[in-house]
């Protein structure tokens, strides 16, 4: 199983920026912990981070046919990007949106996620551990999809 982890703008500054909101862990530390968890479960992760909306859209499109699912933290684009929402809809892969902070306890403009409508589910407010929760959820979703597809193949073969 292969999962893309896509990180949006300013997440490369984790551990430095607004530690009172996002904590002390760097993005690299989060990815290393996530990679360790994934490898224990036979999951391969591909990491990508960009501050540019178009690059994120391109990466989402590249996921079609190459990965089984996406974990995405669109960061500030969560609240503004119809392009990212549309790209997620277009590839139609199981997707878990993750936010380190609880967006519903933040400023009003951060409480609306445009991209959530194209995601399978959203995890928000659990700090860096949210990525682990996203990995667990997405792995389960992908396994269920594969089981259903296998059952349908067996049914058709009868």
Given the residues 22, 31, 77, 131, the one annotated as active site: 22
The reply to whether 99 belongs to the active site is: yes
From the list 17, 34, 14, the residue with the least C-alpha distance to 26 is 14
* Residue in the structure block whose two tokens are 């403009």: 109
Given the residues 31, 77, 99, 131, the one annotated as active site: 99
The C-alpha atoms of residue 126 and residue 119 are separated, in whole angstroms, by: 18
Which residues 6+ apart lie within 8 Å of 103 measured at CB?
78, 110, 111, 113, 124, 125
Neighbours of 8 (CB within 10 A): 23
Strand, coil or helix: 7: strand
The reply to whether 131 belongs to the active site is: no
Residues that are catalytic: 22, 99
């Amino acid at each position: 199983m292969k999962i893309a982890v896509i990180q949006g703008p300013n997440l490369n500054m984790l551990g430095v920026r607004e530690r009172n909101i996002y904590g002390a862990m760097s993005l690299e530390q989060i990815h290393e912990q996530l990679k360790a968890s994934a490898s224990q479960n036979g999951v391969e992760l591909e990491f990508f981070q960009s501050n540019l909306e178009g690059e994120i859209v391109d990466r989402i499109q590249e996921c079609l046919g190459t990965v089984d699912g996406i974990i995405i933290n669109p960061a500030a684009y969560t609240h503004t990007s119809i392009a990212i929402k549309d790209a997620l809809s277009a590839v139609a892969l199981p997707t878990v949106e993750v936010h380190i902070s609880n967006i519903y306890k933040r400023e009003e403009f951060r409480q609306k996620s445009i991209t959530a409508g194209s995601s399978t589910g959203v995890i928000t407010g659990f700090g860096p551990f949210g990525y682990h929760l996203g990995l667990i959820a997405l792995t389960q979703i992908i396994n269920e999809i594969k089981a259903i597809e296998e059952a349908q193949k067996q049914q058709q073969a009868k």
